[in-house]
Amino acid sequence: AAGVIQSPRHLIKEKRETATLKCYPIPRHDTVYWYQQGPGQDPQFLISFYEKMQSDKGSIPDRFSAQQFSDYHSELNMSSLELGDSALYFCASSPTSGRAETQYFGPGTRLLVL
Amino acid sequence: AQTVTQSQPEMSVQEAETVTLSCTYDTSENNYYLFWYKQPPSRQMILVIRQEAYKQQNATENRFSVNFQKAAKSFSLKISDSQLGDTAMYFCAFMKHNSGGGADGLTFGKGTHLIIQP
């Protein structure tokens, strides 16, 4: 079965640089979520999109922005990177109908800021 | 705002034993969903089981079952016949129901590290 695809899987950046993470949801899933998981921490919800509109907002820093495109893929843009942004970033998607509340997670993008 | 509490940072049991992981939550919502996710050393987040708050019947998925007590705001996970592959971090998560068709984020507990000993 198709899963959520995230790219890149690993990313190394310097402080103050920018990064763009991409997420391709499971086919026929129209909802995308972004989470940040620091070392030894639980995942923290950042932001979600439903039908290409921002739906819910969590603890996303002002330096981060995200959008969902017409093909339902999503991108998380991170600027002025800080050491504390080093984390595992998950994208999740949920279906249009049926168990629409169930989120299926991608493998994550490991971001290291030096 | 919702909070999710997992009071057991780590548990260890022998293979084939039954183990129960605890989770309590606090919310003023009446309609919501509860989940258990498993995160093995690969760090992939894998859905284990889900429960709708409006359903009184406890969810079951093969060796995994929950004990959902809505009045007590408790949602424990029972793993029967535990296997070595069950070794992982287990997160309890809450999501409120969005009647407007939106997409609310999950609130996670701090997790329980479950170790299955051979």
- pLDDT one-digit tens code per residue, B16-45: 999 999 999 999 998 899 999 999 999 999
Q: Which of B44, B50, B102 sits opposite A55 (nearest CB)?
A: B102
pLDDT for res A98: 60
Strand A109-113 to strand A10-13: parallel, antiparallel, or no bridges (unpaired)? parallel
Q: By mean pLDDT, which of A7-11, A25-29, B100-104 is the weakest?
A: B100-104
Q: What is the pLDDT of residues B40-78, one digit of tens each?
A: 999 999 999 999 998 889 999 999 999 999 999 999 999
Residue with the larger pLDDT of the pair A51 and B39: B39
Q: Which amino acid type is present at position A71? A: D
Identify the bridge partners of residue A50 per DSSP, sorted by sequence position: A31, A53
pLDDT for res B8: 96
Residues 6+ apart with CB under 8 A from B68: B34, B51, B53, B58, B59, B74, B75
pLDDT for res A51: 84
Q: Which amino acid type is present at position B27? A: T
User: First-to-last CA distance in chain A?
Assistant: 36
CA–CA min distance B18, chain A (Å):
25
Q: Report the C-alpha dihedral over residues A95, A105, A37, A33, rounded to 10 degrees.
A: -20
Residue pairs spanning A and B at CB distance below 8 A: 68
Q: Is A102 exposed, middle or buried (0-12, 13-18, 19+ CB in 10 A)?
A: middle
pLDDT confidence band for A99 (50 / 70 / 90): low
Residue A95 confidence (pLDDT) above 90 = no
Chain B hits for A44, CB-CB cut-off 8 Å, are 108
Residue B11 confidence (pLDDT) above 70 = yes
Indicate yes or no: CB of B43 within 8 angstroms of CB of A92: no
Rg of chain B over CA atoms, in angstroms?
14
Query: Which element (helix H / strand E) includes A106?
Result: none
pLDDT for res A101: 75
Q: What is the pLDDT of residues B71-88, one digit of tens each?
A: 999 999 999 999 999 999
